[in-house]
Amino acid sequence: MNEQADLVIVGAGLGGLVRALALAGEGRRIVILEAQDRFPVTRRGEILQPQGLAMLDQLGLLDAVRKAPCHVNEAFHFHRIGGSRLCTVDYRALEPPYNYCLVNLPSITQAAVLERLRAHPEVEIRMGCVFEGVIREGGRGEGGKITGVRYRRQGELVTVRTPLVVGADGIQSPVREALGIRARIHLYRDAYLVILAPRPPGFHHDGRYHLGRRQILGLFPISDDRLYLFYLVPRKALEAYQARGLPALREEISVIDPTLREPLEQVRSWEEVATMPCRRVRADRWTADGAVLIGDAAHAMNPHVGQGRNQAMADALALAPVLAACFRKGDFSRNALVAYEAARRPQVELLQRLADEETFFWNAGDPARVWLRDRVFRRMEAHPDVSWKILRNVAGLAVEPLTIRDRLRMVL
Ligand SMILES: Cc1cc2nc3c(=O)[nH]c(=O)nc-3n(C[C@H](O)[C@H](O)[C@H](O)COP(=O)(O)OP(=O)(O)OC[C@H]3O[C@@H](n4cnc5c(N)ncnc54)[C@H](O)[C@@H]3O)c2cc1C
């Protein structure tokens, strides 16, 4: 089978779907290839940061997302396990209207985008289609270009001719591989166990973190009656946790926060606990002649900043004007696409660094780092200018690295 599309997007995660939506309505034929047969039911929550809210608003989707079960979260409180409050990060300090974050299920945002795409017959989502490779003319070197993709559906090999391929295919990114783009993939030492539990009666409106020695328990209301709970565990201990079983996990978590004892009784099988390893991706480049990478395929980051899906959306939107110019000129060379990468790298790299710094201190187990972490948290409110900078970076509203002076003031 041989057919033609203006654009092929590999991967129907949020990045790929938003990319299609941003281009829909311009009469271009867009084919999205998704390896999975159906959209999976996710067992974790997600934070939509203010930057993500602004982008959803720009796409006319924010109201739809807010109408579904979700939680408007205005502040996060950080507590020392077995001790006192360390600090509060208050999103209300940001400029309205995006001065909060939204906690919901990733499937809700995805469903809102899918619903909108339904009105665009020129966008076709093909489920159960596994990308296998790109088709080139003129070889890999100078003058060579991509002219299509090959994918497999139910054993059949299919070809689509296209001048442009978007690799929105996640951390392992077969598109990145096919393009021969080198990427450094880092698997973090710690992973998360994630549970969607009943929200304990009277649970505070705001999200909270309990931090200890190599212990993090995050508790975010996700709707009026559900709580998104994530618990840090060493990746190598995941099997041991599973072997010890649910009662031991419930006990360990309930010791940190006794209000969770009863809600966790209602989590009855290990099937309801999702295991989430964390990876960072640093791709050497995000563009090639006739191809771009977006989202995790280009730059997955540690979830401490709650930004992965937000950044996938930001890529998709930043690509829009660049692609408009490519279509106008009929030029899909790397030179024509590289403006997208130049526009996006500063924010992504700042967030990756910030997420790694948070990982280094928040996940700490040794007394020196734990002491330093707690000290910095306790001094956050005494230095509103520095906390404001951190908040705006995490919210995705600024790209403003901390200076050495900022850091020293937080510690000394
Ligand atoms: C524990 C944890 C918590 C997180 N919390 C948050 C959060 O609160 N907020 C946030 O913004 N981000 C969060 N993230 C990050 C977020 O999940 C990712 O950054 C985001 O999903 C990336 O989107 P994407 O579209 O780039 O890729 P993905 O969502 O990974 O989508 C890639 C798609 O490509 C498909 N695919 C792969 N190979 C092929 C192939 N050969 N052919 C066809 N299709 C293929 C896959 O099936 C998949 O559907 C978290 C991550 C973790 C691990």
Each residue of 358-405: pLDDT tens digit? 999 999 999 999 999 999 999 999 999 999 999 999 999 999 999 999
pLDDT at 239: 95
C-beta separation of 301 from 188 below 8 A: no
Ligand 1 pocket: which of 152, 280, 296 to mutate (most atoms within 8 A of CB): 296
User: Thinking of the domain 2-58+107-186+279-352, which architecture would CATH place it in?
Assistant: 3-Layer(bba) Sandwich (3.50)
Instruction: Evaluate whether 2-58+107-186+279-352 and 77-98+189-276 have a shared fold.
Output: no
- Given the candidates 3.30.9.10, 3.30.479.30, 3.40.50.720, 1.10.3720.10, the CATH classification of the domain at 77-98+189-276 is 3.30.9.10
Residue with tokens 């939204």: 102
Domain ranges within the chain, ordered by starting residue:
2-58+107-186+279-352, 77-98+189-276, 365-411
pLDDT at 395: 98
**Is 111 near ligand 1, meaning CB less than 6 Å away?**
no
Q: Two tokens at 161?
A: 């001719």
Q: Two tokens at 351?
A: 């967030």
Return d(Cα 325, Cα 45) in angstroms, integer: 37
pLDDT at 78: 97
The alpha carbon of 112 and the centre of ligand 1 are apart by a number of angstroms equal to 17
**Is 192 near ligand 1, meaning CB less than 6 Å away?**
yes
pLDDT at 253: 98
> For residue 367, is the peptide bond before it cis, meaning its omega torsion is within 30 degrees of 0?
no
Return d(Cα 68, Cα 6) in angstroms, integer: 33
Return d(Cα 90, Cα 401) in angstroms, integer: 20
Instruction: Note the helical H segments in 12-69.
Output: 14-23, 50-58, 62-67
Q: Which residues of the chain have pLDDT under 50?
A: none
pTM: 0.96
Return d(Cα 2, Cα 288) in angstroms, integer: 23
The alpha carbon of 167 and the centre of ligand 1 are apart by a number of angstroms equal to 12
